[in-house]
Structure 1
Amino acid sequence: MEKKVLIAVDDSRHSENALRYVAGLSESVSEMKFVLFHVQPTISQYLMDEARTKPSAYAELKKLEKKAHQTAQDLLQKDKALMISLGIAEENVQAITLPRKFGAAKDILEYGTALLYDAIVVGRRGVSGLAEVFMGSVSASVLDNSEVLPVWVIDEKAPPKGVMVAVDGSGSSLRAVDHLAFIFSGNSDITISFFHVAPRLADFCPIDFSKNDSSQLESVIEQGDRACIDRFYAHALKKFADAGISERQIHIDVHKGGFKVGKIIMDTYRKGGFGTLIVGRRGMNKKFFAGSVSRYLVNQFSGGALWVVP
């Protein structure tokens, strides 16, 4: 089945990293089509209206508008040439530029959603405690506001290598698995690692129980989590089987609790030498991955691609 991916591009090296990642990914994914999408800067309507009373000023603004369009065309041709040089067939790469309408991020999301793309790809600008600043406001806004489409955030031009999926048994995690199964459908070589951090009593209640007082509660949480995650794996394995991915390609790793779930996930990703980390945006009760964990991953992720699935 054909996969359509929208790649938001600009003239930065971070955008180039995104192009190199998806080109490498295409070696593992069949029937993949790419659209390079660039939102042109626009001149405010107020300026245009004011300039209409001065023909020379209006002519200058129209020149700037034409130059912005030509700059966008040149950028897209350069990026398309790069994709082709990386082994992507010319007929599988389309380039589109439009003037900004609502704002770059919203324009990207509206275009991608309206035309039913399977994912939006954005480059990020680095790792910092001020992630939104260094990631780039457009990339951050696309990620934060995509309610329907998965967003692939590319930090570096790392090859796709193995894939790690952080799961918690939630519906959002299952959607992440469904997206992964669709993208890699029919691939008999890809290696996929499920990673689950089993919750502890402290994750649900801030009260400091003594060991004797908490043993029964810990047991209840452990049994409930195990039953939930077992049901999750059964559904996930069926999705993979339907997509032509065998159980032998899948590894399951369960980590026993921990206060910093996001850090545990990130450390495991790095130590495992993976190239892609996939996570559902909303977890159990819409908060396990939606709160501090997903934000931690977005802020601290480096070395490949982070796929965030709504």
Structure 2
Amino acid sequence: MERTILVAIDGSVYSSNSLDYLARLFAADRGLSIHLLSVVSAGAAGKEWMLEVDPLRAQAPGADKRTALARRHLKEAEERLIRSGFAQERIQTRVKTAASVSGAIREEAERGNYDSLLVGRRGLGAVGNMFFGSTSSDLIERCHRVPLWIVDGSVGASRFLLAVHSHPASLMAADHLAFMLKDHPSAEICLYHSNSVFGKQPAARAEEFHPQWGKAWCDQYLDLDNFLFYAHAQLLVDNGFARHRITQLPAQMHLDVSSDLLKQAKQYSCGTIVIGRRRRDLAKGQLKGISEKTLKQAENIAVWLAG
């Protein structure tokens, strides 16, 4: 099955880092398509809210120049991917003008047929303030229908650290990871559970897994008392991932789970941490806090939020 990744481009070094990250992982994957998106703010600086009130208001002076610059950044991004080994027919580009940059990215990601949304963090390109401050945090807070990949800095390691826990969102993250890596020839996955010394989260009930995976599968593979280590590995294998490339790390208990995840990722040369997160209406408590804290502390690493 074809997989498609939406990549937000703003001409910054950080969006370039996200392209390099993609190339390291997927340049040889012929079943993957890349859609590059650059969003141009339609309003004058500080006056974008006017377009929310009056969508027919004319674009601010300079919008045409920003659009031309965005197209140039997309062209450069496309050429960068081609130099890295991507076939040109696997790449599409688009410029979108909108009042809200983050809102336009989120709308495109959720309405399009995309398997993930990739953004480079802390980028400040000439097109505008794309991933600096509120835009990236808004996507993290509001974009829940599509798995969100956040790339911070330059990511060199190719292993994946899958943060496992006894909740359906974690298995959904494993399913997404296996789907995206199904044709990868050498990717390795480390399964790891870090539990907080304070506020230990109870496991979900077995019935909560039945709608997605069925009672028969759950009766055979769910190991709720073991943080679902076995179930995660089995789900990866069921989706075509080689068992010999899956490693179970010893579960540990720490004061700060997010710091521990980053520490373990560094220790085992994992360039990507994959965290399952609940739907927005259920995203409360420890799980939400772990993903947010991990992102805040992340440096030269990618974090996937899926679930």
TM-score normalised per structure 1: 0.78
RMSD of the TM alignment (CA)? 3.0
Q: 1:88 to 1:146 in 2, by over 3 A?
A: same
Could you tell me which runs of 5 or more consecutive residues in structure 1 were left unpaired when the two chains were aligned: 53-57, 127-132, 206-225
Q: Distance in 2 between matches of 1:151 and 1:81?
A: 24
Tell me the residue number matched to 1:264. Answer: 260
Give identity over the alignment, percent: 24
Tell me the residue number matched to 1:210. Answer: none
Tell me the residue number matched to 2:98. Answer: 100
Q: 1:166 to 1:177 in 2, by over 3 A?
A: same
Tell me the residue number matched to 1:129. Answer: none
Q: Does 1:191 align with 2:179?
A: no
Q: Distance in 2 between matches of 1:309 and 1:287?
A: 17
| CA-to-aligned-CA distance 1:9-45 (integer Å, 9 cap, x gap) | 1021111111111111114645111011011121359
Higher helix share: 1
Tell me the residue number matched to 2:243. Answer: 247
Query: How much does 1:257 deviate?
Result: 1.6
| CA-to-aligned-CA distance 1:238-295 (integer Å, 9 cap, x gap) | 322222212211111133322211111111111212111111124999533212x222
Tell me the residue number matched to 1:20. Answer: 20
Conserved in 2, the CA contact under 8 Å of 1:34 and 1:93? yes
Q: Matched residue pairs, number?
A: 272
Instruction: Give the secondary-structure state (helix, strand or coil) at the position aligned to 2:270.
Output: coil
Q: Does 1:125 align with 2:122?
A: yes
Tell me the residue number matched to 1:37. Answer: 37
* 2:234 counterpart (235, 238, 242): 238
Q: 1:280 to 1:5 in 2, by over 3 A?
A: same
Query: How much does 1:68 deviate?
Result: 2.3
Conserved in 2, the CA contact under 8 Å of 1:24 and 1:160? no
Q: 1:258 to 1:174 in 2, by over 3 A?
A: same
Q: Distance in 2 between matches of 1:142 and 1:83?
A: 24
Could you tell me which runs of 5 or more consecutive residues in structure 2 were left unpaired when the two chains were aligned: 124-129, 202-221
Instruction: Give the secondary-structure state (helix, strand or coil) at the position aligned to 1:289.
Output: helix
Query: How much does 1:227 deviate?
Result: 4.4
Q: Does 1:68 align with 2:97?
A: no
* 2:299 counterpart (290, 298, 302): 302
Q: Does 1:287 align with 2:285?
A: yes
Alignment of 1:194-209 (within 5 A): 194-198=191-195, 200=197, 202-204=198-200
Q: 1:273 to 1:119 in 2, by over 3 A?
A: same
Query: How much does 1:230 deviate?
Result: 3.9
Larger Rg: 1
Q: Distance in 1 between matches of 2:247 and 2:119?
A: 28
TM-score normalised per structure 2: 0.79
Conserved in 2, the CA contact under 8 Å of 1:120 and 1:149? yes
Q: Distance in 1 between matches of 2:283 and 2:96?
A: 39
